[in-house]
Amino acid sequence: MLEQLLPAISGIGSSTPVQGDTSVRSRVAVTETGDDFGNMLARMASDTFDTLKAAEATSVAGITDKASVQQVVESVMAAEQSLQTALAVRDKVVSAYLEISRMTI
Amino acid sequence: MVDPLKVSQGIAAAGLDVQSHRMRIIAENMANAQSTANTPGGDPYTRKTIVFSNDFDEALGSNLVGVEQIGKDPSPYRVERNPSHPAADADGNVKYPNVNILVEMADMRESNRSYEANLQMMKQSRSMVMMTIDMLRSS
């Protein structure tokens, strides 16, 4: 599921809606020298992806009696938290994007 | 930097793990409370003890509880006279394990309470994290 989310979120950062040499565009270019917001989102999404993968691995290990119940619960809960954070941020980003697209020109 | 609330969840998870090990040792002691030796005059099951440790976890950057070692209780065995028992020595005495069921029961309750406390810790920090994430949502 996150495989689709990952390019989508980083896509939001790279698809600058305002093209051309406007003031908004130049301001984006200035901030890009530091850490890009899109990069931050992409990093966050890949972190979430790693946590989910780890939770999956621990769950499988738990089924085959190689991990304790506590370990399984802990990793699944960590994954759930990361996923919830990613979802909340995604919703916020999407709503901000929609807000911009609804802007009266 | 690691999120302190996530760290406390990790610490509580380590607590749960340690308490489950403790329960395992208690179960072993209780189950073997009457286990005598196989040979005449031999030593019976020796009560096991668990020692906890406080060790530093690199990933979380915090001190977690762990199992230091599982030792043996050096207290003397209970001796009963029962000449017909296969494990009886020349005088007819049988050595029984140095396990006191009441002590094990008390230990079990304590372990259970500690497990509950750690579980509550986990629940509470989880709900704090979720409450904070929910701030993003309510719009």
B99-112: pLDDT as tens digits: 999 999 999 999 99
ipTM of the assembly? 0.70
Residue B3's pLDDT band (boundaries 50, 70, 90)?
confident
Q: Taking the CB of residue B59, how many other CB atoms lie within 10 A of it?
A: 9
Q: Cβ A88–B9 below 8 Å, yes or no?
A: no
Residue B66 confidence (pLDDT) above 70: yes
- Give the residue from A48, A51, A70, A89 with the most B CB atoms within 10 Å of its CB, the best one to mutate: A70
A60-93: pLDDT as tens digits: 998 898 888 888 988 999 899 889 988 898 898 8
DSSP state of B98: S
Residue A31 confidence (pLDDT) above 80: no
């406080």: which residue's tokens?
Answer: B54
Q: Cβ B137–A89 below 8 Å, yes or no?
A: no
What burial letters (b/e) apply to A71-98, b meaning 16+ CB within 10 Å?
bbbbbbbbbbbbbbbbebbbeebeeeee
CA A62 – CA A71 distance, rounded (Å): 8
Domain segments of chain A as ranges = 2-101
Listed in sequence order, the residues at least 6 apart from A59 whose beta carbon sits closer than 8 Å to its beta carbon are A72, A75, A76
Mean pLDDT of chain A: 75
Listed in sequence order, the residues at least 6 apart from B29 whose beta carbon sits closer than 8 Å to its beta carbon are B47, B48, B97, B99, B104
Which residues are registered as beta bridge partners of B48?
Answer: B72
Residue A25 confidence (pLDDT) above 50: no
- Interface check for A94 against chain B (CB to CB < 8 A): the answer is no
Low-confidence winner among A27-36, A64-73, A88-97, B30-39 (lowest mean pLDDT): A27-36
Minimal CA separation from B49 to chain A, in Å: 21
- Interface of B to A at Cβ within 8 Å reads 6, 9-10, 13, 16-17, 20, 122, 126, 129-130, 133-134, 136-137, 139
Residue A36's pLDDT band (boundaries 50, 70, 90)?
confident
Residue A11 confidence (pLDDT) above 50: no
Nearest residue, CB atoms, A77 vs list B126, B136, B137: B126
Mean pLDDT of chain B: 92
